[in-house]
């Protein structure tokens, strides 16, 4: 089996990003591109490791830890999944997807922060308002939400994935199981979600909180809003899952590493060709994009700086840990004893000399200029060196002495 080149996206950006860098890109795009281009290269920084007996030297290059970088995404995905598993209750879950109508895509591009907040709020309020109604459940569910902004062709397709418990906690702090095999009536969910998001839009438009696309006016946007009241919006409720872990694993594939997996890319010439699965006929098809267009589409989906694309509500909110633990007494499962942050402790792995087996010591570390106060930091030799699970020395020549970048 052919081994996937994890650096293929990095190589594309290193070779061609200079062609689009000066075309009025936002700061978030420039930061993402720089992180992708420098990840696990000497320019990003490195640790210089030596054998105490003088047999061997190694360079361990640093990762960028950017959420859109495909090179160092595996560990971040693993840590995120483990954190979510600790939060999940031992009960059935539903997977719900709320989509933004394509008629709003132009407006979305000018108001990404506002729409991100609005679509999360409309989705959350729809689910909690209906499930707290005694007609359906009469309890507060746990909800994990993640925002994805891309379709399978790397086009704009903003939608929110929701993992919802098939039950909830009542006002008397008792767990209540959802009866039946469906979460909520889909028509009711669609109508309420549409009404809430439309209401937020009209209020924002009235208060001049939105930037309007070129050629648009408040009247034209208002006409679009009114027309979309007549349309059924896209909301999907999947069949019930016996546990939420499977959905979490699915979501993790898209949480870190950007909108495309390097193994999808099959050729890099004058055009970048990659494979995608067409949801209409479930067939795998190739798509070719010009190199500049491919990079632009990757950068389209870099989240705004400071915006959280994963959120927890209801019983899964951080402040509800005590309530979750009371539910676990009935449902079973490990009790949470510490606050979940999603940042697991780094895996410690001693690098050993291949000749004598001694633990390699870190003689000094170099960091990317500008990220830290000093770009060259000498550290005391020690026997325990904190390192990544995956070796960070790919394609980097070994050196025989100190070298500054």
| DSSP calls for 102-144 | GGGHHHHHH-HHHHHHHHHHHHHHHHHHHHTSTTTT-SBPEEE
Q: Name the average pLDDT for the chain.
A: 86
pLDDT of residue 370: 61
pLDDT of residue 138: 96
Q: Tell me the mean pLDDT in the region 184-210.
A: 97
Contacts of 398 by beta carbon, 8 Å cutoff, 6+ apart: 57, 58, 59
pLDDT of residue 394: 37
The span from the CA of 20 to the CA of 13, in Å, is: 10
Is the pLDDT higher at 72 or at 122? 122
pLDDT tens digits for range 242-266: 888 889 998 888 888 999 999 999 9
Find the range with the poorest average confidence among 81-90, 333-342, 375-384. 375-384
Find the range with the poorest average confidence among 38-42, 311-315, 357-361. 357-361
The pair of structure tokens assigned to 90 is: 């031992």
pLDDT band at 285 (very low <50, low <70, confident <90, very high): very high
The span from the CA of 297 to the CA of 287, in Å, is: 13
pLDDT band at 123 (very low <50, low <70, confident <90, very high): very high
Indicate whether 198 pLDDT > 90: yes
- Map out the domains of the chain with their CATH numbers: 73-259+301-331 (3.40.1310)
pLDDT of residue 379: 40
**Among 45, 39, 43, which Cα is nearest to 60's?**
45
347 close to 391: Cβ distance less than 8 angstroms: no
pLDDT of residue 392: 39
- CB atoms near residue 99 (< 10 Å): 16
Pairing of strands 156-165, 93-99: antiparallel
Q: What is the 3-state secondary structure (H, E, C) of 216-282?
A: CCHHHHHHHHHHHCCCCCCEEECCCECCCHHHHHHHHHHHCCCCCCHHHEEEECCEEEEEEEECCCC
pLDDT of residue 333: 72
Q: How far is CA 121 from the centre of its chain?
A: 18
Q: What percent of the chain has pLDDT over 70?
A: 86
Indicate whether 19 pLDDT > 80: yes
Indicate whether 35 pLDDT > 80: yes
- Only one residue has tokens 């070779």, namely 15
pLDDT band at 143 (very low <50, low <70, confident <90, very high): very high
| DSSP calls for 184-223 | S-HHHHHHHHHHHHHHHHHHHHHTT-SPPPTT--HHHHHH
pLDDT of residue 99: 98
pLDDT band at 218 (very low <50, low <70, confident <90, very high): very high
CB crowding 160-192: b at 16 or more within 10 Å, else e: bbbbbbbbbbeeeeebbebeeeebbeeeebbbb
In the Cβ-directed half-sphere of 281, how many Cα atoms lie within 13 Å?
A: 3
pLDDT tens digits for range 81-100: 999 999 999 999 999 999 99
pLDDT of residue 159: 97
Indicate whether 121 pLDDT > 70: yes
pLDDT band at 229 (very low <50, low <70, confident <90, very high): very high
In 338-384 the beta strands, taken as DSSP E runs, fall at 361-367, 376-378
Ranked by mean pLDDT, the top range of 34-48, 64-78, 147-161 is: 147-161
Report which secondary-structure segment, H or E, holds 13. helix 8-16
pLDDT band at 398 (very low <50, low <70, confident <90, very high): very low
Q: Tell me the mean pLDDT in the region 150-165.
A: 96
Q: CA separation (Å) from 298 to 8, 111, 202, 294?
A: 13, 19, 31, 6
The span from the CA of 129 to the CA of 147, in Å, is: 20
Measured N-to-C along each axis, helices 291-300 and 27-38 cross at an angle, to the nearest 10 degrees, of 110
Q: What percent of the chain has pLDDT over 90?
A: 63
pLDDT band at 75 (very low <50, low <70, confident <90, very high): confident
The span from the CA of 169 to the CA of 143, in Å, is: 12
**Among 124, 4, 159, 146, which Cα is nearest to 80's?**
146
pLDDT of residue 352: 84
Q: Is 333 left (phi over 0), alpha (psi -120 to 50) or beta?
A: left
Phi and psi, residue 263, nearest 5°: -70, -15
pLDDT band at 4 (very low <50, low <70, confident <90, very high): low
pLDDT band at 369 (very low <50, low <70, confident <90, very high): confident
3-state secondary structure of 337: coil
Report which secondary-structure segment, H or E, holds 60. strand 57-61
107 close to 115: Cβ distance less than 8 angstroms: yes
């Amino acid at each position: 089996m052919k081994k996937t080149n994890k650096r293929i996206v990095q190589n594309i950006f290193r070779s061609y990003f200079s062609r689009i860098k000066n075309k009025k890109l936002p700061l978030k795009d420039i930061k993402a591109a720089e992180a992708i281009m420098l990840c696990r290269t000497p320019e990003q920084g490195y640790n210089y490791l030596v054998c105490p007996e003088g047999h061997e030297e190694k360079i361990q290059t640093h990762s960028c830890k950017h959420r859109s970088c495909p090179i160092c995404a595996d560990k971040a995905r693993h840590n995120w999944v483990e954190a979510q598993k600790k939060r999940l209750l031992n009960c059935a879950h539903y997977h719900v997807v709320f989509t933004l109508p394509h008629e709003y895509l132009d407006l979305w591009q000018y108001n990404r922060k506002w729409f991100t907040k609005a679509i999360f709020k409309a989705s959350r309020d729809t689910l909690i308002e209906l499930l707290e109604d005694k007609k359906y459940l009469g309890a507060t569910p746990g909800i994990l939400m993640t925002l994805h902004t891309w379709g399978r062709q790397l086009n704009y397709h903003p939608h929110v994935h929701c993992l919802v418990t098939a039950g909830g906690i009542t006002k008397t702090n008792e767990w209540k199981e959802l009866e039946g095999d469906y979460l909520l009536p889909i028509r009711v969910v669609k109508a309420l979600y549409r009404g809430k998001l439309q209401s937020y839009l009209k209020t924002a438009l009235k208060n001049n909180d939105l930037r309007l696309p070129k050629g648009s006016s408040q009247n034209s946007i208002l006409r679009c809003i009114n027309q979309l009241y007549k349309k059924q919006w896209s909301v999907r409720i999947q069949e019930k899952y016996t546990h939420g872990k499977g959905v979490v694993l699915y979501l993790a594939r898209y949480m870190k590493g950007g909108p495309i997996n390097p193994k999808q890319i099959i050729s890099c010439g004058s055009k970048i060709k990659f494979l995608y699965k067409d949801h209409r006929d479930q067939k795998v098809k190739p798509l070719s994009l010009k190199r500049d267009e491919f990079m632009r589409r990757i950068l389209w989906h870099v989240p705004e700086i400071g915006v959280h694309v994963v959120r927890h509500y209801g019983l899964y909110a951080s402040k509800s840990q005590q309530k979750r633990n009371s539910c676990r007494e009935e449902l079973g499962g490990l009790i949470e004893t510490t606050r979940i942050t999603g940042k697991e402790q780094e895996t410690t792995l001693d690098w050993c000399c291949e000749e004598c087996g001694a633990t390699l010591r870190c003689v000094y570390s170099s960091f990317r200029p500008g990220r830290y106060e000093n770009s060259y930091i000498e550290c005391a030799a020690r026997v325990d060196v904190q390192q990544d699970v995956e070796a960070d020395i790919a394609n980097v020549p070994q050196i025989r002495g100190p070298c500054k970048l």
